């Protein structure tokens, strides 16, 4: 069985303005979103959208194709908690946080290969559970995230204090923020393929993608 990557949870409308939708010749945004999902409109046919947004929409609409397929988790598949540097990040680069499941890392790194933007990807020890299972089993804890931040000296690497966590872990936001003094906890989308839309201009397409 394949793991549930929550593709059905992808949202498009929150990232579009009424002006952008009208410029695409589709009337209200709900009509534009429906036309995109049905293939009657394509992001690349909408010059009113920025190149980054057209690319992000394309990725979200092709989520089934672009996200690596991983099997449903029968037993945890832990990797050592690590800090990965994607596209030569600097002190201002965003920090994505997730658990230390091999399958989660496979999906995220597959997606991150589709941008030239720089990121830090920090994994915390959740016994190898995927993010959704870590929420169910409460294996993703403030203490374990704090340990990963400390082990990799992240506070000394970045000039901001913003951590983006998977959307399925959003119920832990207040608990995490209360324990990790000085860090802002920002829940991202539930499906990884929505992340380019969530990050906006912070997710730049490779050259000549559009």
Q: What is the CA radius of gyration of the chain?
A: 18
Note whether 180 and 152 are same-domain residues. Answer: yes
User: pTM of the predicted model, to two decimals?
Assistant: 0.94
Note whether 180 and 108 are same-domain residues. Answer: yes
Name beta bridge partners: 121: 84, 96
Report the CATH number that the domain containing residue 115 is assigned in CATH: 3.40.50.11600
Range of the domain at 57: 7-66
- pLDDT (0 to 100) of residue 209: 65
Note whether 57 and 110 are same-domain residues. Answer: no
Residue 103 near residue 77 (C-beta atoms within 8 A)? yes
Residue 105 near residue 130 (C-beta atoms within 8 A)? no
Q: What percent of the chain has pLDDT over 70?
A: 99
* Total number of domains constituting the chain: 2
Note whether 97 and 149 are same-domain residues. Answer: yes
Note whether 13 and 116 are same-domain residues. Answer: no
Band (pLDDT 50/70/90 cuts) for residue 210 is low
pLDDT digits (tens, 9 = 90+) for 81-127: 999 999 999 999 999 999 999 999 999 999 999 999 999 999 999 99
Q: Is 120 helix (H, G, I), strand (E, B) or coil?
A: strand
- pLDDT (0 to 100) of residue 13: 94
- pLDDT (0 to 100) of residue 23: 85
Domain boundary (36, 66, 96) is at 66
pLDDT digits (tens, 9 = 90+) for 17-47: 988 888 887 778 899 999 999 999 999 888 8
Note whether 122 and 187 are same-domain residues. Answer: yes
Residue 188 near residue 163 (C-beta atoms within 8 A)? no
Q: Give the DSSP H or E segment for 126.
A: none
Note whether 32 and 58 are same-domain residues. Answer: yes
Q: Is 81 helix (H, G, I), strand (E, B) or coil?
A: coil
Quick check: is 60 in a domain?
yes
């Amino acid at each position: 069985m394949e793991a549930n990557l929550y593709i059905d949870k992808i949202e498009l409308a929150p990232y579009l303005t009424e002006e952008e939708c009208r410029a695409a010749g589709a009337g209200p945004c709900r009509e534009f979103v429906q036309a995109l999902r049905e293939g009657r409109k394509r992001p690349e046919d909408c010059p009113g959208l920025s190149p980054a947004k057209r690319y992000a929409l394309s990725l979200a609409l092709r989520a089934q194709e672009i996200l690596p397929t991983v099997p449903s988790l029968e037993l945890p598949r832990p990797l050592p908690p690590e800090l990965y540097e994607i596209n030569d990040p600097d002190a201002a680069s965003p920090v994505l946080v997730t658990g230390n499941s091999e399958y989660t890392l496979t999906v995220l790194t597959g997606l991150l290969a589709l941008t030239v933007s720089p990121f830090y990807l920090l994994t915390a020890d959740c016994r190898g559970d995927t993010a959704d299972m870590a929420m169910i089993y409460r294996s993703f804890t403030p203490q374990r995230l704090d340990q990963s931040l400390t082990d990799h000296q992240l506070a000394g690497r970045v000039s901001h204090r913003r951590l983006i966590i998977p959307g399925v872990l959003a119920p832990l936001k207040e608990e995490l923020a209360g324990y990790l003094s000085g860090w802002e906890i920002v829940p991202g989308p539930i499906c990884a393929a929505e992340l380019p839309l969530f990050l906006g201009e912070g997710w730049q397409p490779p050259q000549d993608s559009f």
